[in-house]
Structure 1
């Protein structure tokens, strides 16, 4: 693993990054299974608000609006509070993942949705619909650039074996590096931004919603409901996912 760090460079990054997360186009009341009375829903929401600590404390609370809590939490803070194993973490610390393009976030999220969630549940041959939200987040940091060394260390972008990138991520987290740039494992032309320190992220903004529709081995991605803007072949999972124009 130490050879990966030979001749690495820092890249001074000041750019917007895209993050693609699970969401709903139309909100649903979380308490509608408790009662059919809307007044009961409002009461439950008020009780939850009284006892639940805010996920985001604004430096200018007089100016900020309440929904900014949710934007900050969903776009930035969630992975730093809910640790899970991923490409650059063994699950013992949080990692934030973003991409330089929306298309790359789609390739990444479809691969994990189809090859992970749906395959594990046995639904990869069903007609399935999922909804997601894309955020834009500002990233300002000196990031280690892994892209030049990836040809000599292809394990960094292996689709399923995370041993090498997890060892890289553990060292970077332990030594306090804010993050890195890496080639996408599922979009050959894409770049991902991997962040270990939330302080280098700021100004989260909602860009748009996406709908994923799986049917007949294809995942149709829609920005406007019912109008595909991108299609990904999901059947050749072992060989990677291939985008169709």
Structure 2
């Protein structure tokens, strides 16, 4: 299905305290954190590959991010990694997995409910026993981008915001990214009243800071609790 993208308004989105939650198993990538000028990265990678053949497993496919859209410095891994580590085995709402999208919620609860849904889907699919599961980390960041806006009642959202069917929304994501869109802002499907962004380039976000470490509890049917690993506080998800 081809969607008329000219019918979708573009809005300036500036969020402070936006939240993204990711798995804790992924460490920061030194290249993105320590080398200030992205223009130097290709030469450094070429030199390093001669002595470190596993380097590309860490960095991913840098060619997927245009040089002018790359970011560097403290916290840059949190912005770059979603775009350099992609796979058709990991499609998302607005991508079939051939290109990256950085998703974030406007508040913590949005990011929490979005991630516990997907964690629950994974746990059910793999028939995991009940108990505390994978560790996650909260990333607090700023969103500064002009995004195609699905929040308006004037936009035909039919098929684009379905709970589990991503066919139409992936088509839209492909069309918008091909037209050089910065990304999409849309109502959260998992948390009523919340909003999400899906950025097509890392420079649509800035100043990422690691927040809390979180543990999710799987009761055999759903994720029913989360724990702040720093304080030990446990919260029920309702």
TM range (shorter): 0.7 to 0.9
Deviations 1:173-203 (A, max 9, x none): 1000001101112112211111001122221
Further displaced range: 184-193 or 141-150: 141-150
User: Partners of 2:9 and 2:216 in 1: how far apart?
Assistant: 37
5+ long unaligned stretches in structure 1: 25-46, 233-243
Q: Secondary structure at 2:190's aligned position in 1?
A: coil
Q: TM-score of the superposition, structure 2-length normalised?
A: 0.72
5+ long unaligned stretches in structure 2: 26-47, 63-69
Matched ranges for 1:123-202 at <5 A? 123=128, 126-149=130-153, 152-202=156-206
Matched ranges for 1:1-245 at <5 A? 5=5, 7-16=7-16, 17-23=18-24, 51=52, 52=55, 68=74, 71-73=75-77, 75-84=78-87, 85-115=91-121, 117-123=122-128, 126-149=130-153, 152-215=156-219, 217=221, 218-223=223-228, 224-229=230-235, 231-232=236-237, 244=238
Q: Secondary structure at 1:87's aligned position in 2?
A: coil
Aligned-residue CA RMSD (Å): 3.2
Give the structure with higher Rg (CA).
1
Q: CA contact under 8 A between 1:178 and 1:195: conserved in structure 2?
A: yes
User: Partners of 1:99 and 1:14 in 2: how far apart?
Assistant: 12
Q: TM-score of the superposition, structure 1-length normalised?
A: 0.70
User: Partners of 1:151 and 1:20 in 2: how far apart?
Assistant: 28
Relative to its length, the structure with more strand (as a share) is: 1
How far apart are 1:131 and its partner, in Å?
1.2
Deviations 1:155-177 (A, max 9, x none): 22211110111011001110000
Q: Secondary structure at 2:189's aligned position in 1?
A: coil
Size of the alignment, in residue pairs?
199
How far apart are 1:143 and its partner, in Å?
1.0
